[in-house]
Structure 1
Amino acid sequence: MRKQIADTPWPLQRVLLDELWQDTKGKGVRVAVIDTGVDDVNPQLQKAVDAKAGKDYLKPDKKNPGFGDEQRGKTDGTVDQVGHGTKVAGIIAARPREGTGFVGLAPEATIIPIRQNDEKNSGQSDTMAEAIKWAVAKGAHVINISQDTTQALKPDSPMGRAVAEAIKRDVVVVASAGNDGMDGTLKKTYPAAFPGVLAVASSDRNNERAAFSQAGPMVGVAAPGVDIVSTVPGGGQCVDNGTSFSAPYVAGVAALLRAKHHDWSAAQIVARIEQTAVRSINGRDDYVGWGVVDPVRALADAPGTPPTAPTPDPRPPKPPAPEPARLALSETPQERSERLATYTLGIGVVLVAVVAGTAIVIRDSRRRRGAR
């Protein structure tokens, strides 16, 4: 058992939880976590996990030192020998606990634990398909899948058909984009790239794409994925990084929206999350999608019928084109006439002075000659 982290994690410091939870904390919403299992011993998850609805698609490794007698034979998805799924579930629905500032985004939602993978990556795409079907059958309103493969899967593959059926049944499917983005290459990952899935990339404290976050045309939004605090098996919390922990942040927001808007479709909820994200450009890109998710803004009251697809922000109207500058003379016709009259008068005065001066010179010259 790890110690509790007392401080409030940085992603939660940015969220006004009282405002976020003013209408709901996710009560009545069921979120399936298809992962490495979800530990229901951690005090923050004991009341969050519906073990009766859980499922284990892997044979538990009884030789694992951390696998106790009380876990042998359990097939309800509550065995987590890796801790990955327990972290994912905590970000979504961890209950408040004295001594820690960490809590899930939807702390009254219910987790359906489904164990489909382990530290050996034993999970297969076909097994994932069965896990998705199980989640839908157990009444999941939201499905979180923090796993991915770059193997191109067609829509008619078992996983593709399972995802399509879940979406057809109005389930919000959230998936991580993957952590192979260091080289900057654009790739499609699955199930994130299937139509209708909300694919989530990772952002850092500056609302920029985390260096490891996989970029690609499937990215819908980004969410905090660096230095993320969450629950671990047995009790306490730890810190980790990855799009695996960005996806449940968004799944938590989706759970709150499902609880607040019972009449909204899955497509409307996805569009609402994308439309209210904090954007760096007027539209989407392959790195952070439509932007970094804003939980409070997503839950704010929205007038009218919500759209089923996001749109770029309205551009401000263009200012009217400036009219050509008029070139005016430096004087009016009247001023020009007055100026010319002044010039004429001045010239006349000068001429008179010249004539008078000349006459005086001639007179004086004659007087000097006569005096001789």
Structure 2
Amino acid sequence: MIDTGVAAVPRLAGRLRGGGDYLAGGDGLDDCDGHGTDVALLLAGAADGTGIGAGMAPGAGLVSLRQSSARFAVRDDDGTERPAGEIRTLAAAVDRAVALGASVINVSEVVCVPADRLDDVAAPLRTAVAAARRADVLVVAAAGNLDPAGTCTGDPGLRPLPALYDAVLAVGAVDGDDRPAPFSVAGPWVDVAAPGVGLPAPAGPEGAVVSGTSYAAPLVAGTAALVRERFPMLTAGQVADRLRATARRPGAGRDDRVGDGVLDPSAALSAEPLLLVPGPGGPTAGGTAGGPGTPQGATAPLPAPTPRPPDLPAVAGIGAVAAAGGALAAVLAGLRRRTGGARRFLSS
């Protein structure tokens, strides 16, 4: 979890540890924005006292790195102030998450930069993301929100980071009826989409809802954590391919707003054959991530098993796999129950 920090709330008890704080020093378990805590609960929160409200992977172990905040400000060279969070520290947080043994990294933040500045401004982040993929770590990132006053203004010359990179699984947002959210940044880099409109705010007051690609990303990351446990022999790239191949495809084919389709957790955890790659006509059996497909039903060699990183709690048991589709349904049910609540929009 690279975000605004994650508070040590009861629904994460025993599964949350700090990885560091790039804003104020510390362990990453302070969250004065509330954003990171909401994202963490959508990803891995346990059910509340009534047995509802579980996140996508309610047994996953989480490591929190606080790297951004709307409550902290930094001053640019021209004297203007902006919320804290730098590409340089985001790159450092990705590197640290890999070093701490994460198998999935969720980045529910984005910065849009001019395309002609990618080689200089974004070089450290590009290097960190590439290193994560080489280490067999899956990076899941929000596609970003259109915001005339922010960095993602809709200017076609801007590119969202880290969502832009091929080694990142970029997530757009849809509403409860799978319609693309009007604020979700579109582009050929978008891989999949997930619900991100009017979701119940897990750490907020009763009736509060949140919207943004920030909140779609953890639903995908949580599903990825379950897939990585159920199929530990799959590489990070093969997990990403499986999520894309099993997504509910747009009727007209791939779409820059939702990528290959809308997340389908049940299909991701149960579809056969094991190795799938997305394609224009639907998923096909495949060998290695990004490699050519083979005829449906063909047998493909499996990669060597990936050992579990040391010193991390195990993610949710296989019993939780069957509940993953229900978790997404519960999110949508909560959306429909709470549509009259206060609305909170955040940067991504």
Same fold judged by TM-score > 0.5? Answer: yes
C-alpha distance in 1, partners of 2:216/2:61? 19
Query: Which amino acid is 1:201 matched to?
Result: G
Matched position secondary structure for 1:143? strand
**Corresponding residue for 2:42?**
91
C-alpha distance in 1, partners of 2:262/2:67? 29
**Corresponding residue for 1:142?**
104
**Corresponding residue for 1:49?**
16
- The question of whether the paired residues in 2 share the 8 Å contact of 1:191 and 1:197 is answered with yes
**Corresponding residue for 1:283?**
253
- The question of whether the paired residues in 2 share the 8 Å contact of 1:148 and 1:176 is answered with yes
Q: How many residues are matched?
A: 263
Within a 5 Å distance, the mapping from 1:52-91 to structure 2 comes to 54-59=19-24, 75-91=26-42
Report whether the alignment pairs 1:272 with 2:242.
yes
**Corresponding residue for 2:137?**
171
Query: Which amino acid is 2:243 matched to?
Result: I
C-alpha distance in 2, partners of 1:270/1:283? 18
Within a 5 Å distance, the mapping from 1:1-372 to structure 2 comes to 33-40=1-8, 42-51=9-18, 54-59=19-24, 75-99=26-50, 101-119=52-70, 120=73, 121-151=83-113, 152=115, 153-154=118-119, 157-180=123-146, 188-232=159-203, 238-281=208-251, 283-304=253-274, 306-307=275-276, 309-313=277-281
C-alpha distance in 2, partners of 1:301/1:222? 19
- The question of whether the paired residues in 2 share the 8 Å contact of 1:50 and 1:111 is answered with yes
- The question of whether the paired residues in 1 share the 8 Å contact of 2:199 and 2:210 is answered with yes
Query: Which amino acid is 1:172 matched to?
Result: L
- The question of whether the paired residues in 2 share the 8 Å contact of 1:49 and 1:112 is answered with yes
Alignment gaps of 5+ in structure 2: 74-82, 284-348
- The question of whether the paired residues in 2 share the 8 Å contact of 1:45 and 1:95 is answered with yes
Matched position secondary structure for 1:189? strand
| Percent of residue pairs bearing the same amino acid type | 42
- The question of whether the paired residues in 2 share the 8 Å contact of 1:90 and 1:230 is answered with no
C-alpha distance in 1, partners of 2:90/2:207? 27
Using a 3 Å threshold, how does the CA distance of structure 1 residues 94 and 237 change in structure 2: closer, same or farther? farther
Using a 3 Å threshold, how does the CA distance of structure 1 residues 78 and 271 change in structure 2: closer, same or farther? same
- Measure how far apart 1:39 and its partner are: 0.4
- The question of whether the paired residues in 2 share the 8 Å contact of 1:102 and 1:230 is answered with no
- Measure how far apart 1:96 and its partner are: 1.7
- The question of whether the paired residues in 2 share the 8 Å contact of 1:282 and 1:312 is answered with no
- The question of whether the paired residues in 1 share the 8 Å contact of 2:246 and 2:271 is answered with no
Using a 3 Å threshold, how does the CA distance of structure 1 residues 296 and 220 change in structure 2: closer, same or farther? same
- Measure how far apart 1:47 and its partner are: 2.4
- Measure how far apart 1:279 and its partner are: 1.2
- Measure how far apart 1:99 and its partner are: 2.8
- The question of whether the paired residues in 2 share the 8 Å contact of 1:184 and 1:215 is answered with no
- Measure how far apart 1:237 and its partner are: 8.3
- The question of whether the paired residues in 2 share the 8 Å contact of 1:193 and 1:218 is answered with yes
- The question of whether the paired residues in 2 share the 8 Å contact of 1:188 and 1:217 is answered with no
- The question of whether the paired residues in 2 share the 8 Å contact of 1:202 and 1:246 is answered with yes
Using a 3 Å threshold, how does the CA distance of structure 1 residues 295 and 48 change in structure 2: closer, same or farther? same
Query: Which amino acid is 1:43 matched to?
Result: P
C-alpha distance in 2, partners of 1:88/1:302? 30
C-alpha distance in 1, partners of 2:90/2:226? 25
**Corresponding residue for 2:289?**
none
- The question of whether the paired residues in 2 share the 8 Å contact of 1:48 and 1:95 is answered with no
TM-score by length of 2: 0.71
Alignment gaps of 5+ in structure 1: 1-32, 61-74, 316-372
- The question of whether the paired residues in 1 share the 8 Å contact of 2:173 and 2:213 is answered with yes
Query: Which amino acid is 1:257 matched to?
Result: V
Matched position secondary structure for 2:96? helix
Rg bigger for which structure? 1
**Corresponding residue for 1:344?**
none
- Measure how far apart 1:150 and its partner are: 1.1
- Measure how far apart 1:154 and its partner are: 3.1
Using a 3 Å threshold, how does the CA distance of structure 1 residues 281 and 301 change in structure 2: closer, same or farther? closer
Deviations 1:280-303 (A, max 9, x none): 235311111001101111111422
Deviations 1:233-286 (A, max 9, x none): 8x9884210000000110010000011011101111001111111112353111
- Measure how far apart 1:50 and its partner are: 1.9
C-alpha distance in 2, partners of 1:114/1:174? 15
TM-score by length of 1: 0.67
Using a 3 Å threshold, how does the CA distance of structure 1 residues 237 and 291 change in structure 2: closer, same or farther? same
Using a 3 Å threshold, how does the CA distance of structure 1 residues 300 and 225 change in structure 2: closer, same or farther? same
